Amino acid sequence: MTPPATSRIPIVVIGGGLIGCSTARALAAEGHAVLLLERDEEPGRRATSAAAGMLAPQMEAARHERALAASPAAEGSMRALSIASRSMYRDFVRILEAESGRSIPYRDDGTLVVALDEEGREELRGVAERQRTIGLAAELLDGGAAREVEPALDPAVVAALHLPDDHAVDNVALARAALEAAAVRGVEIETGRPVDAVEIDGGRVVGVRVGERSVEAPVVVVAAGAWSGRLAGLPRVLPVRPVRGQIGAVALPAPPRLTVAGPGAYCVPRDDDRVLIGATVEEVGFDHLPREGAVRELVEAAARFLPGLVEGGDLETWSGLRPGTPDDLPVLGADPDAEGLLYATGHFRNGILLAPVTAATIAALVSGRSPPVAIDAFRPDRFAA
Ligand SMILES: Cc1cc2nc3c(=O)[nH]c(=O)nc-3n(C[C@H](O)[C@H](O)[C@H](O)COP(=O)(O)OP(=O)(O)OC[C@H]3O[C@@H](n4cnc5c(N)ncnc54)[C@H](O)[C@@H]3O)c2cc1C
* Same domain, yes or no: 333 and 316: no
Give dist(CA 33, CA 52) in Å, integer.
32
If asked whether residues 250 and 307 sit together in one domain, one would say yes
Long-range contacts of 77-80 (CB under 8 A, 24+ apart): 77/329, 77/374, 77/375, 77/376, 77/377, 77/378, 78/329, 78/377, 79/134, 80/373, 80/374
> Does 299 map to a domain?
yes
Within 10 Å of residue 49's Cβ, how many Cβ atoms? 18
Residues 289 and 149 in one domain: no
Q: Are residues 369 and 273 in the same domain?
A: no
DSSP code of 383? G
The answer to whether residue 160 is domain-embedded is yes
Q: Distance (Å, rounded) from C-alpha 317 to C-alpha 295?
A: 7
User: Which of 142, 164, 186 is the C-terminal boundary of a domain?
Assistant: 164
On whether the CB atoms of residues 318 and 247 are closer than 8 A, the answer is: yes
Q: Which of 324, 353, 374 is the last residue of a domain?
A: 324
pLDDT for the residue 74:
85
Q: Which CATH number is 198's domain given?
A: 3.50.50.60
**Residue 83 covered by a domain:** no
Distance of alpha carbon 123 from alpha carbon 140, whole angstroms: 10
Look at residue 3 in the predicted model and tell me its pLDDT.
74
Output the CA–CA distances (angstroms, integers) from residue 157 to 29, 115, 125, 154, in the order listed.
47, 6, 14, 6
Rounded Cα distance, 349 and 27, in Å: 24
Nearest CA to ligand 1 atom 31: 17
Domain shared by 271 and 211, yes or no: no
**Mutation test of ligand 1: which of 227, 361, 378 has the most ligand atoms closer than 8 Å to its C-beta?**
227
Q: What range defines the domain where residue 224 resides?
A: 6-50+173-240+327-383
Q: Say if 85 falls within a structural domain.
A: no
- Tens digit of each residue's pLDDT (9 = 90 or more) over 297-306: 999 999 999 9
CB 365 within 8 A of CB 334: yes
- What pLDDT, in 10s, does the model give residues 251-282? 999 999 999 999 999 999 999 999 999 999 99
pLDDT in tens, 63-107: 877 565 567 788 899 999 999 999 999 999 999 999 999 999 999
Residue whose Cα lies nearest atom 18 of ligand 1: it is 351
**Ligand 1 center to residue 48 CA distance, Å?**
4
What gap in Å lies between CA 267 and CA 300, rounded to an integer? 12
Percentage of residues in the chain having pLDDT higher than 70: 98
- 34 within a domain of the structure (yes/no): yes
Q: Mapping DSSP to helix (H, G, I), strand (E, B) and coil, where does residue 323 land?
A: strand
pLDDT, averaged across the chain: 96
Q: Which residues line ligand 1 (CB under 6 A)?
A: 14-20, 37-40, 43, 46-48, 50-54, 194-195, 223-227, 231, 245, 247, 278-279, 320, 322-323, 345, 347-353
Report the nearest atom of ligand 1 relative to the CA of 244.
53
* Same-domain check for residues 218 and 315: no
Rounded to an integer, the average pLDDT of 157-177 is: 98
pTM beyond 0.85: the answer is yes
> Is 333 found in the same domain as 225?
yes
Residues 185, 233 within the same domain: yes
**Atom of ligand 1 at shortest distance to CA of 268?**
8
Considering the domain architecture, whether residues 295 and 264 belong to the same structural domain is answered as yes
Percentage of the chain beyond pLDDT 90 is: 92
CATH, residue 300? 3.30.9.10
Tens of pLDDT, residues 295-335: 999 999 999 999 999 988 899 999 999 999 999 999 999 99
The structural domain count of the chain equals 3
Q: In this structure, is residue 91 part of a structural domain?
A: no
End position of a domain, from candidates 103, 133, 164: 164
Tell whether 302 is covered by a domain: yes
pLDDT in tens, 191-235: 999 999 999 999 999 999 999 999 999 999 999 999 999 999 999
